Amino acid sequence: MRRPPDPRHRSFNGADLSGASLEEAGLDGVDLTDALLVNSYLTATILDAAKIQGADFSDAVLPTKAQTSLCTRVDATGINSKTGVPTRDSLMCPD
C-alpha cells in the first residue's frame, strides 16, 4: 500500500491550503509563510510549523489552546499577500 507523502520540513510558502483537512498531519518544521489556511481544519500539530508569518487562518477550525499558543509566537505577524488579512487578525489574537 502506498503511503501519502510526509509533509514534515516542507515548504508550503504561499500555498493555498484553504479548506484542507490537516488534522493530525505531521507539520514539524513546515514553512507556512504567506499560506492560505482559510476554512482549514487543524489540530495542535499546527504548533510544530516552523514559520507562520503572513499566513491567513481566517475561519480555520483549531483548538483554542493552539490558537492561543500561535498568538504568542514572534512570527505571528505580517499580512497575507493574497487576502490582505493580517496573520494576528486571522487568528483573532487579542492586542
Range with the poorest average pLDDT among 1-10, 35-44, 48-57, 60-69: 1-10
The pLDDT assigned to 87 comes to 98
Residue appearing with cell numbers 489552546:
65
- Higher pLDDT: 10 or 78? It is 78
Model's pTM, two decimal places?
0.89
Residue 20 contacts residue 56 (beta carbons within 8 Å): no
3 state DSSP class of 69: helix
Residue 74 CB coordination number (10 Å): 6
